[in-house]
Structure 1
């Protein structure tokens, strides 16, 4: 996983965006949920979160922003950052922002996007996802006292590499 965690399953989320018309009702449902938090802007991490954020922002008639993925030289968990695109940074200052992603599992993209939204002087007031996978997303939202809206929640077992039972059992690493 992007966070550096290992998991017992993988969702191929890019497939969600192949047929935008099929995705639209789900985006509209999530838009209704995040709109309850009186938002001025919807922000999502590239790629899937940004695609979803743009649809939701258009549905709600609010501003849109996106965060670009930045690879760092940090080792361990959460080695990736996300930064609001330079041309959009000043525009979100003082805004009430919903941060959305297609799915939240360990939450690395949402964590980093939220941190950068705050560094721009904006106020994250809601998190949203089509799918919450596992408990870590809810735990993160609760730790920040930010509501987390979603359409569905799925179980997921995730571990650090040192805790991974599949690695301990000698199972080969596979990528999606």
Structure 2
């Protein structure tokens, strides 16, 4: 499964700033992941199979690509699908300046339900972190995080901190840094656009 996932993830190396505010050396052009949804569908089915033992009652996927995977997984599990959407928190300073609220009209569908957060890829975990907070606020019970791939350690740490299961099809090494500790910045390497 690892090789199938790796084949679908368009990767670039350089110096990048992620949505979370962290810096890193690997960027994934995830917009390209869904050019051919038929290639992603078997992976979504595999994720759904891993979630079956968690008694999932709904799926929530962070927009954009995470929601696409989430919709496929929810369809396979035959459970309701919802999504969270990124909104910049203009009051935030430092890391994780993006919130992931769930539309108000969908929140009642999640109240009291066992929910899986389904994402495309987890690196720093900004989208999943924001979605976890939004689910808790609307009375849902997050029980699992499922993703096609995990880069680095953030997903494991996030799942452990929130006492939820982590299901992934592939794991890849990756290092991310806080801006003040970025070795690429220290070497004067400019940030890629």
TM-score in terms of structure 2 length: 0.89
Cα RMSD, aligned residues only = 0.7
SS of alignment partner, residue 86 of structure 1:
coil
2:51, 2:180 → 1: CA distance?
37
Q: Does 1:147 align with 2:147?
A: no
1:16, 1:44 → 2: CA distance?
15
Residue matched to 1:138: 156
The unaligned stretches of length 5 or more in structure 1 are: none
SS of alignment partner, residue 105 of structure 2:
helix
Deviations 1:64-108 (A, max 9, x none): 000011111112100000001121011110110000110011101
Runs (4 or more) in structure 1 with deviation over 2 Å come to: none
1:14, 1:81 → 2: CA distance?
20
The unaligned stretches of length 5 or more in structure 2 are: 1-17
Instruction: Give the superposition deviation at 1:166.
Output: 0.4
Q: Does 1:109 align with 2:140?
A: no
Deviations 1:114-137 (A, max 9, x none): 110011101001001000000111
